A and B are shown apart, each in its own frame.
Chain A
Amino acid sequence: MEGESIYEIDSEDGVGADIISTVEFNHTGELLATGDKGGRVVIFQREPESKNEPYSQGEYNVYSTFQSHEPEFDYLKSLEIEEKINKIKWLPQQNAAHSLLSTNDKTIKLWKITERDKRPEGYNLKDEEGKLKDLSTVTSLQVPVLKPMDLMVEVTPRRIFANGHTYHVNSISVNSDCETYMSADDLRINLWHLAITDRSFNIVDIKPANMEDLTEVITASEFHPHHCNLFVYSSSKGSLRLCDMRASALCDKHSKLYEEPEDPSNRSFFSEIISSVSDVKFSHSGRYMLTRDYLTVKVWDLNMETKPVETYQVHDYLRSKLCSLYENDCIFDKFECAWNGSDSVIMTGAYNNFFRMFDRNTKRDVTLEASRESSKPRAILKPRRVCVGGKRRKDDISVDSLDFTKKILHTAWHPTENIIAIAATNNLYIFQDKVNSEMH
């Protein structure tokens, strides 16, 4: 993989407002959206390929920046609602405009992104600056014509889906029918129509009658990429539930429950925490699901509920450090996971700005680092290694010198090409595999 571009999201606000909180490619990969803790969305666009150099793919440049969410205050509950963007999902493009959904803890917004590269000139009553003309100077009638102008990207909020959630929204997912989408919070999942903001349907509700009986919460959810009636949601207990909306209006009863029995020899104080699923993603084929818990990524076959078909250790050397990771809150970090376009490679982030890729076919894995030193343009990324004692090679990092403040929680893979976007705190790294740019 080659280093390609680094973007630093800067902000004038206080520390932390520019921490990237979500990254998402659109369906063609032409656009890449990032959301940050300050409620801002930055969209990058890929420059068209240069005809002169057929092997040089375009770079990503900033296309548009806008403030999606502002901090709010819930007066009834005396609670501040964070403006942090939890998730962005692109809608499939249906006309010249692009649309995306962005959400914070409570409110989902639909944004429309349009380009303007022409403007009308030659008005009869107004001059170039828009001031009214002195009518005595108007001697003839002219028809305004469209003249080219510098490209202007306009972003407008088209829908605001508010008041649907009591608890914190953790995921949104657009249905393959392109008409509906769902939003999930800790205890409920709602189904919305993209055009209707004053109504939503509750399709999953796991809130117990007595909150003292609460044992698990919803952690992530996603629609099936092809079957508009199917969706999956993951729980803090490490299970996945596949639900069919044809079965009943309220999908509290799952159609399939995917759960792996716990290994009793690994039992510890923190077993419940590390088994909580932080992300779930359908494969592009729709045949598999990918889940991430604290120490592993797992591939599940939709047809097999008893256990995952593949399990990959992301950083098992942390298993003996769970106590300290609990103390410094790192054990609650929610890592995301991603498939490549052909579902042959999976990727997830780790600490020390490391991210990991697992090739499902060759069973080989690699650890790479997102850092400024290794990411100069055209620089090749060098595989890294974490040593756990024993023989230590040069350039190995020991477990104890890992920087746990540098965590890669959010990663995204281009839908068709070997381009990845890695969010490391407030930096966005984009890497391209220029040698093998086609999917294999």
Chain B
Amino acid sequence: MLRGRRRMEGALDAQSLISISLRKIHSSRTQRGGIKLHKNLLVSYVLRNARQLYLSERYAELYRRPPPPHAPYPPPAAPLAGPPELGPLPPGAEEQPPGPMPRGCGLPEPPVLLPPPHDPAPLELPGAPPQPPSPCRDSAPGFYRSGGCAYPALPGHCSGRTTVLDLDTHVVTTVENGYLAPDCCSQCPCCCPPAPGTKRKYYPGPGEEDDEDEDEPAAGGGAAAGVGVAPCPKRARFEELSPEPPPDASNISNLISIFGSGFTGLVSRQQADSEHGQLCSKQALASLGAWTRAIVAF
């Protein structure tokens, strides 16, 4: 099926772009003159775009599998993270535990087939990057993020569920997205008000208690912010490797967190976190395992 194959090509492009981008970010740490903020910001955009495409490909594949039982999301406890334009939900929505549906590992923005990309972005989350691109070879259709951020069942902690509204069929599905929650948090501040610290929890490995001091109190507030969610294992690990608390370098670790633990969930096979679901990575992704260690250590 040509369409499927072209989709595959799109996904492979995305994978190689992801690994190339990770390599660039990793090598920029040892470059003379310090980390170049501009270049790393641009690389992070490519990473986002590639990841979006990759995830959309994966989700499309999931979508082709037998449909899971409908599990519409509960009425929002927190302010709506999704865009209001989505409209009212099917009545009789009730929360159901995710059944035997495939467990997605990196689906914060389950894509939905939508009209062409030039539509305005009412479906985008605040702070989300703009329209998803077509890949290098322009093979995959444009996918959008839907406003599928989890509504937290527990206050201050994303429940790990993402709800997808298919605009074509108006089918609402809920996807287990354990790895997603931190990414959710990073994208939807309303979900997790003390957000930035929370996501750190999802990084495996020992966490150190020290918070680094950013160069400005305002910026530091974001990360260390009287949250009490003190441990920042990722940042602490970075400090282990390079003995300085540079604002520049912390920007880069922040950039990594932007594409989130859902991303590391994609690439890591070592992270057998039993709590959360994990989609079996493809063979091709296994090669990115080495880079996971680099990024997690970043």
Contacts and interface: CB of A to CB of B under 8 A. Distances in A.
Q: Does chain A bind chain B?
A: yes
Interface of A: 76-82, 84, 105, 166-168, 170, 186-187, 207-217, 219, 236, 264, 267-273, 276, 322-323, 326-327, 329, 332
Interface string B226-256: 0000000000000000111111101100110
B275 to A, nearest CB: 25
B170 interface: no
Nearest to A185: B37
Given A267-B131, A269-B50, A323-B136, A167 B42 contact: no
23 contacts: A77-B246, A81-B34, A166-B247, A167-B248, A168-B37, A209-B219, A209-B222, A210-B254, A212-B186, A214-B41, A214-B255, A217-B37, A217-B38, A264-B116, A264-B118, A264-B131, A269-B13, A269-B135, A270-B46, A273-B45, A276-B38, A326-B20, A327-B20
Given A80-B34, A167-B37, A211-B219, A269 B42 contact: no
Given A212-B254, A217-B38, A268 B222 contact: no
Nearest to B258: A212
A256 B159 CA distance: 44
A329 B242 CA distance: 25
A269 B215 CA distance: 33
B34 A168 contact: yes
Given A77-B246, A78-B244, A269-B133, A213 B127 contact: yes
B269 interface: no
Given A77-B245, A105-B33, A216-B41, 12 more contacts: A80-B32, A167-B37, A167-B248, A210-B219, A210-B221, A268-B135, A269-B133, A272-B49, A273-B42, A276-B38, A323-B17, A332-B39
A187 B37 CA distance: 9
B41 A80 contact: no
A347 to B, nearest CB: 24
Contacts of A327: 20
A332 B215 CA distance: 28
Q: Which 5 A-B pairs have the closest CB atoms?
A: A210-B222, A82-B33, A264-B118, A272-B45, A79-B34
A217 B127 CA distance: 16
Contacts of A219: 38
Residue among B17, B136, B186, B250 with the highest chain A CB neighbour number at 10 A: B136
A276 B254 contact: no
Given A212-B196, A212-B254, A79 B246 contact: yes
Q: Chain B interface mostly helix, strand, loop or mixed?
A: helix
Contacts of B20: 326-327
Most central of A207, A272, A323 by chain B CB within 10 Å:
A272
Given A166-B247, A211-B222, A326-B46, A81 B33 contact: yes
B33 A80 contact: yes
A350 B227 CA distance: 50
B26 interface: no
A215 B130 CA distance: 11
A135 B214 CA distance: 68
Interface in B206-227: 214-216, 218-219, 221-223
Contact of B218 (A209, A264, A268): A209
B136 A269 contact: yes
Contacts of B216: 207
A76 B38 CA distance: 22
Given A79-B246, A207-B219, A217-B37, A264 B42 contact: no
B45 A209 contact: no
Contacts of A271: 49, 133
A217 B33 contact: no
A268 B134 contact: yes
Contacts of A269: 13, 17, 46, 49-50, 53, 133, 135-136
B117 interface: yes
Contacts of A76: 244
A252 to B, nearest CB: 14
A73 to B, nearest CB: 11
Given A168-B36, A264-B117, A326-B46, A211 B133 contact: no
Contacts of A210: 196, 219, 221-223, 254
Contacts of B133: 267-269, 271
B34 A236 contact: no
Nearest to B218: A209
Nearest to B186: A212
B186 to A, nearest CB: 7
Contacts of A216: 41
B14 to A, nearest CB: 8
B162 interface: no
A208 B251 CA distance: 11
A38 to B, nearest CB: 13
A82 B32 contact: yes
